Amino acid sequence: MTAEIWDVIIVGAGLSGLSAAHLLKKRDAALKMLILEGKDRVGGRTVSIDIPAANGTDRWDFGGQWVGSTQTHILELIEELGLETYPQFNTGKKVHHMGGPCAKVRTYKTSIPALSPLVLLDLTQLIWKIDRLCATVCVRDPLMTPNSVELDSMTLHSYFDQNAWTKELKEEMGVASRSVFGIEPSQMSLLFFLMYSAAAGGVLQLLESSPGCAQESKIKGGTQQLSERLADRIGWKNVRLGSAVTAIWQDGEWARVKTATSSYLCRAVIVTCPPHLAAKIDYQPALPSQRQYLTQNMPVGHMIKFVITYQTAFWKEKGFSGEIVAGSSTDCPFCVTFDATNPSGSAALVGFIAGQGASQWTSKEVGERRKAVLSSLVKYLGPEAASFIHYEEKDWAKEDYSGGCPVNVMAPGLLTYYHPSLRKPCGRIRWAGTETATQWCGYMSGAVQAGQRAALEVLAELCPLTLTEEEQEAVLQSQCNEDPPLQTQPSRPAHLYARKSVIIAALMVTGALALAQRHDALQKVKLYVTNMFVAAKSTIF
Amino acid sequence: MTAEIWDVIIVGAGLSGLSAAHLLKKRDAALKMLILEGKDRVGGRTVSIDIPAANGTDRWDFGGQWVGSTQTHILELIEELGLETYPQFNTGKKVHHMGGPCAKVRTYKTSIPALSPLVLLDLTQLIWKIDRLCATVCVRDPLMTPNSVELDSMTLHSYFDQNAWTKELKEEMGVASRSVFGIEPSQMSLLFFLMYSAAAGGVLQLLESSPGCAQESKIKGGTQQLSERLADRIGWKNVRLGSAVTAIWQDGEWARVKTATSSYLCRAVIVTCPPHLAAKIDYQPALPSQRQYLTQNMPVGHMIKFVITYQTAFWKEKGFSGEIVAGSSTDCPFCVTFDATNPSGSAALVGFIAGQGASQWTSKEVGERRKAVLSSLVKYLGPEAASFIHYEEKDWAKEDYSGGCPVNVMAPGLLTYYHPSLRKPCGRIRWAGTETATQWCGYMSGAVQAGQRAALEVLAELCPLTLTEEEQEAVLQSQCNEDPPLQTQPSRPAHLYARKSVIIAALMVTGALALAQRHDALQKVKLYVTNMFVAAKSTIF
């Protein structure tokens, strides 16, 4: 078999691979690049699908969908590709259900969740503690974090167990872990969680939909357009779909990249697929054992994402925002929903069955899941929820060449023993994918950052003159983990700090006062603090 | 390509696969069986190699080597195959070094390690607590264990952190984890550790070389003979070496098993390779996501095993047993050594660089490791250690179609969410390998038990009349996890209980009294307890 010869082969046509190719092409149009993708589409963990809706059909994202205003890499790409964002709708009552199927369903309107005063105080102290720890984490080299071995030796569950005072908050944190990672707190290293939070600028940034946070805005027309437009620019002739890479063999002269039917030679390879899939490729010579141990043991999250379309956004008419948060102790299959009404006006809700919920629900029939989802929506939003147009879902664990979503996390011990191999090139192979990002790791923005970083590494090798001195320096640094702590975190806008202080202060006052008051006084205090918070918020933004 | 047709295909010619084939053949000689093995030898994680020794050359085990008197499955096989065992030599001074490179190197002669009274007391209470927990574990279905979710949500490290009082004991437990699993306590679920210990009859059984324990005896001529003799009986024409399975595709009628060059059809498949390798096979239709999550996230241990041959067993002449235990805080690369003198008289020591030690040492040159090993042996046993005949080592992480040793463990959360898929057949595929055993899981005996259990499952499907009613019942039970707790543990001989009580009582008395005494009195107490222990030991055995 005669092998085709290329300069660079990229494994995976998701955002990371296509961003790498895009940068390579911009710097050196003469570079011969080939992107090999197992799926029959581009986009990786982003996919936008047309489904029946109020005005015929409309398109929704069934993978990554949100961007935030501190996610500079994805925002620049959105602008460059001529796409637009619009804010996540979050006005109105939010529903909150924890503490068992029969516990009271609470609603609230501010950013302060409807928790009892004690749990609010508990939340405040816990977030404060986590943020203090986050501030000590070096994202680029987590082993430089003070006390890193200890932090990496315990699960996030153990940390919550030791540092959250109330059972309710522990349940709340389970929901947070499931919603963000698709993974239970028991399956993740505390240090990994801190690193991931620090890469996003803090733990609240992961959880909220307000400015600077992960769920702030969406892309008009869907996120898969990013990959499609990138492929347009790179040239579709350079993208081969249905071409899963099975082997990468290297010798002194070439890297040979194989699929089931073809074989290609090249001078550099960028592997962008998630670690558990990268682990399945046959590498010759074998990768260093540290690298093997790392990719063989990074659990990928499990999420089933669903969209339900309606004739009208009845929840808005009733004063609800569409946001529901439900704990694992309730009968509710999903952990969180949001309003998903399109800019065109097609009404919809989006939700996630994640972590242990996904584990339990994945083997059931779609009809059973739909029934359980609708039954919970009726319970939380009213009987109108039953009259839907269409229910569509995607179980990412069953998606070929994904096998899980949104991100691979690290179990305890992995950072301590194997982290240096996360981004370290192996011969002609460079590593990208959002898991290797240092800013918004795990998000679309991280995928772009990682792809661009890997592209710079390849350019530094193949055509170093296309790099600025600054970029050459960055390539060197990214390969030797020499950055001092804290420099590696994305800069946080000052208003985020101010906002966080206000939230924490408000929570603290509510909790502390409420604990010292009787029930009737409590209502007044809550009202007072809520008003104070709303006032502060409108002043700042 | 025309595919060969077989009744049963077994993936892996280690002890588990060959034991399965052996049982299948004994029950139905007409069954057409094929064993496909990636390596160029049988034996899997057991391999016996000839190296230069005092009397020319002699053979040592570089993989699994020990058996214990409660390991019924392997003992029956040893007898059936006409092999013999001999006891692990453990008479004389044992060396114990913890607490940093400059800490005092201690020696001791009894089963009670040379620890300070406080650490001894600490060890006693910790072992007592662990054994109490072990007694509550249901090996076949760990989720039936009281408080299972909590026990599975923390790492073994966190448990030691919370339950060991002294820093020295925590270091000691690190050595234990490394020696048994090749993994650090931070990488393992507490519940998994308890299940593993319970499957061996208790935690001391994992650690010791005394009767009933894991390091009790060795096999004359080496353990690989077991696999070679099994292959003799099954017929070498049914074993294809250098034939790594890359895919298993199933339809209504057949399972199609593929290697790089061939394709086979069969009615049943038994996959025996370790979970992280089973995860690399391409299954169509895809396996249930629970199964995928499980095998993608079971870390395999990392051990570099070495044997050093000498003209004479100088350590015996100097009153040493050859057993050295060294903590990770010392400069010593290995965590443990034992006497490895062959029955023929060829003097040797065997040792293990494991866990974080293996992680650190794996990328260095063999010469550097040898130098460090020898330097430590000289420090602990005297200058004679420098005059060796030959140093040979095996880094199991670098062994093709192993990628680690001795066993895959479970990170936190895996048992809770995915354990039911460990042994559950997937269509025509049954799962074996020592990781699926319920008695001495992780050991050679477990490999045999698991292989035989999988063979019975296949027979129950293909030729049920060859099974006794009892066996048919066992097959049903093994697939539905219905056993009540505690019935699933191997029976422990009464003398083991008695012995453990004596050890614990002795430790308790030493520790408690010593804490209340001055230093001079302490020596007397230690002498008294040691004598009491030796007396008790000789009475019992």
How far away is chain A from the Cα of B303, in angstroms, using its nearest Cα?
Answer: 11
Reply yes or no on whether the pLDDT at A523 is more than 70: no
CA A449 to chain CA centroid, Å, is: 14
Residue B464 DSSP code: G
- C-alpha R_g of chain A: 23
CA distance A438 to A253: 32
Residue B384 DSSP code: G
Cα separations in angstroms, B364 against A54, B145, B360, B450: 65, 43, 8, 36
Burial of B366 (0-12, 13-18, 19+ CB in 10 A): middle
Per-residue burial over B494-506, b if 16 or more Cβ lie within 10 Å, else e, is eebeebbebbbeb
List of chain B residues whose C-beta atoms are within 8 Å of the C-beta of residue A302: 289, 293
Contact B250, B285 (CB under 8 A): yes
What is the pLDDT at residue A478? 75
Contact A45, A462 (CB under 8 A): no
What is the pLDDT at residue A112? 80
CA B497 to chain CA centroid, Å, is: 22
What integer is the mean pLDDT of B95-119? Answer: 90
**Nearest CB partner across the interface for A412, out of B186, B298, B362:** B186
Contact A411 B154 (CB under 8 A): no
Burial of B311 (0-12, 13-18, 19+ CB in 10 A): middle
What is the pLDDT at residue B497? 45
Burial of B492 (0-12, 13-18, 19+ CB in 10 A): middle
What is the pLDDT at residue B527? 44
Sign of the dihedral through C-alpha B322, B323, B328, B330: negative
Reply yes or no on whether the pLDDT at B199 is more than 60: yes
| ipTM summary value | 0.87
**Nearest CB partner across the interface for B359, out of A153, A400, A417:** A417
**Nearest CB partner across the interface for A186, out of B157, B300, B412:** B412
Reply yes or no on whether the pLDDT at B1 is more than 70: no
Determine what percent of chain B is predicted with pLDDT higher than 90. Answer: 83
Cα separations in angstroms, B268 against A246, B245, B249: 26, 15, 12
Reply yes or no on whether the pLDDT at B482 is more than 70: no
pTM: 0.89
Sign of the dihedral through C-alpha B288, B291, B294, B295: negative
Helix (H, G, I), strand (E, B) or coil at A361: helix
DSSP string, B212-236: TSTTSEEETT-THHHHHHHHHHH-G
Question: Which strands make up the sheet holding B239-240, listed edge to edge?
Answer: B239-240, B33-36, B8-11, B268-271, B429-431
Structure confidence by residue, pLDDT tens digits, A207-226: 888 899 999 999 999 999 99
User: What band does B210 get if pLDDT is binned at 50, 70 and 90?
Assistant: confident
What integer is the mean pLDDT of A339-361? Answer: 96
Residues 108-127 of A with CB under 8 A from B: none
Residues 258-297 of A with CB under 8 A from B: 276, 279-280, 286, 288-290, 292-293, 296-297
- Pairwise pLDDT comparison (B491 vs A295), residue with the higher score: A295
Q: Count contacts between A and B (CB, < 8 Å).
A: 143
What is the pLDDT at residue B478? 76
Contact A155 B155 (CB under 8 A): yes
User: What band does A495 get if pLDDT is binned at 50, 70 and 90?
Assistant: very low
Cα separations in angstroms, B123 against B157, B172, B500: 15, 9, 13
Mean pLDDT of chain A: 90
Torsion of CA A451, A456, A461, A465, to 10 degrees: 150
Contact B157 A153 (CB under 8 A): yes
User: A interface mutation test: which of B148, B162, B297, B302 has the most A CBs within 10 A?
Assistant: B297
Contact A15, A222 (CB under 8 A): no
CA distance A291 to B347: 37
Give yes or no for A522 touching B (CB within 8 A). no
Q: Please name every residue paired with B10 in a beta bridge, in sequence order, or none if there are none.
A: B35, B270
What is the pLDDT at residue B509? 54
Contact B398 A289 (CB under 8 A): yes
What is the pLDDT at residue A74? 98
**Nearest CB partner across the interface for B411, out of A279, A404, A412:** A412
Contact A363 B153 (CB under 8 A): no
Structure confidence by residue, pLDDT tens digits, B40-88: 999 999 999 999 999 899 999 999 999 999 999 999 999 999 999 999 9
**Nearest CB partner across the interface for A187, out of B161, B403, B413:** B413
Helix (H, G, I), strand (E, B) or coil at A175: helix
- In chain A, the residue whose alpha carbon lies closest to the alpha carbon of B157 is A153
Give yes or no for B99 touching A (CB within 8 A). no
Determine what percent of chain A is predicted with pLDDT higher than 90. Answer: 83
Reply yes or no on whether the pLDDT at A273 is more than 70: yes
How far away is chain B from the Cα of A410, in angstroms, using its nearest Cα?
Answer: 10
Structure confidence by residue, pLDDT tens digits, A355-367: 999 999 999 999 9
Contact B444, B46 (CB under 8 A): yes
CA distance A430 to B28: 52
Tokens read off for B463: 């030729």
What is the pLDDT at residue A536? 35
- In chain A, the residue whose alpha carbon lies closest to the alpha carbon of B186 is A153
Contact B192, B414 (CB under 8 A): yes
Residues 400-419 of A with CB under 8 A from B: 400, 403-404, 411-414, 416-418
What integer is the mean pLDDT of A46-73? Answer: 97
B505 Cβ contact list (under 8 Å, min separation 6):
none
CA B174 to chain CA centroid, Å, is: 16
CA distance A75 to A69: 7
Give yes or no for B312 touching A (CB within 8 A). no
A292 Cβ contact list (under 8 Å, min separation 6):
A279, A286, B397, B403
User: B interface mutation test: which of A1, A293, A395 has the most B CBs within 10 A?
Assistant: A293
**Nearest CB partner across the interface for B417, out of A149, A356, A416:** A356
Tokens read off for A454: 């890997």
CA distance A483 to A138: 8
Residue A490 DSSP code: P
List of chain B residues whose C-beta atoms are within 8 Å of the C-beta of residue A403: 289, 292, 296
Torsion of CA B160, B165, B171, B176, to 10 degrees: -50
Give yes or no for B38 touching A (CB within 8 A). no
Contact A155 B152 (CB under 8 A): no
- Pairwise pLDDT comparison (B116 vs B385), residue with the higher score: B385
Reply yes or no on whether the pLDDT at A541 is more than 50: no
Reply yes or no on whether the pLDDT at A519 is more than 60: no
What integer is the mean pLDDT of B372-385? Answer: 98
User: What are the percentages of helix, strand and coil residues in chain B, rounded to 5?
Assistant: 45, 20, 35
What is the pLDDT at residue B477? 81
Structure confidence by residue, pLDDT tens digits, B407-429: 999 999 999 999 999 999 999 99
Half-sphere exposure of B216 (CA within 13 A, CB side): 16
Tokens read off for B1: 């390509």
Residue A427 DSSP code: T
Burial of B372 (0-12, 13-18, 19+ CB in 10 A): middle
Contact A416 B289 (CB under 8 A): no
User: What band does A425 get if pLDDT is binned at 50, 70 and 90?
Assistant: very high
List of chain B residues whose C-beta atoms are within 8 Å of the C-beta of residue A289: 302, 362, 395, 397-398, 403-404
Residue A106 DSSP code: E
Contact A280 B276 (CB under 8 A): no
Reply yes or no on whether the pLDDT at B196 is more than 90: yes
Cα separations in angstroms, A14 against A240, A278, A291, B43, B255: 12, 14, 22, 42, 33
Contact B421, B291 (CB under 8 A): yes
What is the pLDDT at residue A520? 45
Helix (H, G, I), strand (E, B) or coil at A348: strand
What integer is the mean pLDDT of A468-485? Answer: 73
Contact A411 B279 (CB under 8 A): no
What is the pLDDT at residue A538? 34
Residues 1-20 of A with CB under 8 A from B: none
List of chain A residues whose C-beta atoms are within 8 Å of the C-beta of residue B302: 289, 293
Give yes or no for B250 touching A (CB within 8 A). no
Structure confidence by residue, pLDDT tens digits, B222-263: 999 999 999 999 999 999 999 999 999 999 899 999 999 999
> What count of residues does chain A have?
541
Give yes or no for A221 touching B (CB within 8 A). no
Contact A289 B187 (CB under 8 A): no
How far away is chain A from the Cα of B181, in angstroms, using its nearest Cα?
Answer: 14
What integer is the mean pLDDT of B128-139? Answer: 96
Reply yes or no on whether the pLDDT at B358 is more than 70: yes
CA distance A472 to A27: 14
Mean pLDDT of chain B: 90
- In chain B, the residue whose alpha carbon lies closest to the alpha carbon of A298 is B297
- Pairwise pLDDT comparison (A149 vs B493), residue with the higher score: A149
Torsion of CA A424, A425, A430, A434, to 10 degrees: -10
Q: Helices A224-234 & A72-80, crossing angle to 10 degrees? A: 60
- In chain B, the residue whose alpha carbon lies closest to the alpha carbon of A288 is B363
User: What band does A500 get if pLDDT is binned at 50, 70 and 90?
Assistant: low
